[in-house]
Structure 1
Amino acid sequence: MFDNHVHCHEFPRDEITQYQKDWTLVCVSDDLESSKKTVELQGVVKCIGIHPWQVERAEPGDLNTTLRLIEKWEVPCVGEVGLDKKFVPHSYDKQVEYFRAFLKLARELDLVVNVHAPDAWQDALEMLRRADVDRAIIHWFTGPLQLLETIKDYGYYITINPAVAIQRKHQEVAKTADRRIVLLESDGPYEYRGMRLAPPVIKNTVEKLSELWEAPKDYVVEVVETNAKRLWRL
């Protein structure tokens, strides 16, 4: 199965090796240094970028160096990149500058964009569309339900996180979204309300989606895996 958004560089290497036995890991990066760690991983889908939370800490030149790293290593994905008005609104203008640069390169190289956008969902979608990006993941989507139709129309995807077990808004998203745009993620090793998020916890997400969709677990797995293979062109 696919974990479509996980911070592999934060896990011990032997733990990642164990997960690879059962999971296809889409490994996102947070900054230049973690991007360098991500490209060294073997047998994973590599995403390179600078997280909105890290934009204000980035050194002059980090953006261009990260962009060159994407080209040098020919990675299939840019991420974790995006906008955040909820947690770091004070750096929003610089976030827009960085996001625009990553989107331009993603369009030129036909890359997937792994997007973070709390309280900036609409802005992020508009920037993705203006940049003419074809493939994007809106990670851990908890935005307005009416945007789900826009995401589908643009050909993008959302990820459902294990937090769906307890996060009511995320449950509403999971129930409302067109099933053809749903992917799964762990966002590990993030800690959320006492849960240590990691790839194996996605099995609990499957169980919750089975409940929300009123469908067998095998059906849920088939749907999300078909979606992932379509996105990653496998």
Structure 2
Amino acid sequence: MLIDAHCHCHEFSDEELAKFSEIKLVGVSDDATSSARTLELSERIGLVPCLGIHPWHVDRSTPADLSTTLKLIERSNAPCIGEVGLDKKFVPETYEKQREVFSAFLRLAKEYDLVLNVHAPDAWADVVEALRKADVDKAVIHWYTGPLALLEDIGRYGYYITINPAVKIQKKHRDVAEAARPDMVLLESDGPYEYRGLKLQPPMVKETIKVLAEIWRMSEDDVVDRVYYNASRLFRLT
């Protein structure tokens, strides 16, 4: 089975989601409202729910929104918090508030032994440091395009990264795919995001499989088996 480890499922219609039935979806959320929809979708179509507040939405989130999201995580059986993290690239003006919000999710992840599905553009090292200081054991840093040297620490700490279909056209992401150990890689679409003309959707993880098979000099079936094992281990899939 193919697993899309980072998809904004709440942005797709029910009809669109039905077309992705051959792929196991890990649905990330952007705020309190989308967290509730992600949880509802998990109960209805069986996706893996990640609840949280995206760094891009921190400026619009009130203390009440954060409290609502934290309580939703505590009261649900969601195994994952996300999309959460830090972003110095796109929203540097809210960085201090991002750190406060991310700290709340870090504490909850540690307390309940949850996976963190993390966003970290230009804050890659800060995120890894925050994860370690919080003693968080399970995390995946999505669409990693950070320093290649940091991959060694990410792998040593037992964390994962995702490779996105953008690997076909984004050189720094391909460099990451070439440098990363296969045992630390998951697949993602980040759908329905659009990147340089690519309309990202879950079925596109199949294209990523082809690229990784070329880079890793493995058969496509072996790549599928490898990344499935990684994802099933992280998200405790059976």
1:40 & 1:230 partners in 2: Cα distance? 24
- Identity rate, percent: 61
The residue type equivalent to 2:6 in the other structure is H
**Deviation at 1:89?**
0.3
**C-alpha displacement at 1:205, in angstroms?**
0.5
The residue aligned with 1:84 is: 87
Shift of 1:214: 2.0
1:231 and 2:234 aligned: yes
Q: Map Cα deviations across residues 114-136 of structure 1 (whole Å, 9 max, x no partner).
A: 00000000000011111111100
The corresponding residue for 1:159 is: 162
1:59 deviates by 2.3
Q: Which residue of 1 aligns with 2:24?
A: 24
TM-score, normalization by structure 1: 0.98
Letter in 1 for 2:12: F
Query: What is the Cα-based RMSD across aligned positions, in Å?
Result: 0.8
Alignment partners' CA distance in 2, 1:60 and 1:47: 20
Q: Give the Cα separation in 2 of the matches to 1:100 and 1:121.
A: 15
Structure 2: runs of 5+ lacking an equivalent: none
Shifted more, 9-18 versus 149-158: the winner is: 9-18
- Asked if residue 176 in structure 1 is aligned to residue 182 in structure 2, the reply is no
1:216 is displaced (CA, Å) by 1.4
What residue in structure 1 maps to residue 76 of structure 2? 73
Per the alignment, residue 57 of structure 2 pairs with 54
Q: Give the match for residue 107 of structure 2.
A: 104
Query: What amino acid is the match of 2:115?
Result: V
Alignment counterpart, residue 136 of structure 2, candidates 133, 140, 147: 133
Structure 2 counterpart of 1:5: 6
SS for the counterpart of 1:61 is helix
TM-score, normalised to structure 2, is: 0.96
Moved more, 192-201 or 76-85: 192-201
SS of match in other structure, 2:103: helix
**C-alpha separation between the residues in 2 aligned to 1:146 and 1:170?**
14
* Number of residue pairs matched by the alignment: 233
Corresponding letter in the other structure for 1:31: D
Show structure 1 runs of 4+ deviating over 4 A.
none
C-alpha displacement of 1:45: 0.2
Query: Structure 1: how far apart are the matches of 2:148 and 2:101?
Result: 27
Partner deviation per Cα, 1:1-54 (whole Å, 9 max, x = no partner): 10000000000112112212x111000000111111111112110000000000
SS at match of 2:63: coil
| Letter of the structure 1 residue corresponding to residue 228 of structure 2 | E
Provide Cα deviations, 1:179-209, integer angstroms capped at 9, x if missing partner.
Answer: 1000000000001111110111111101111
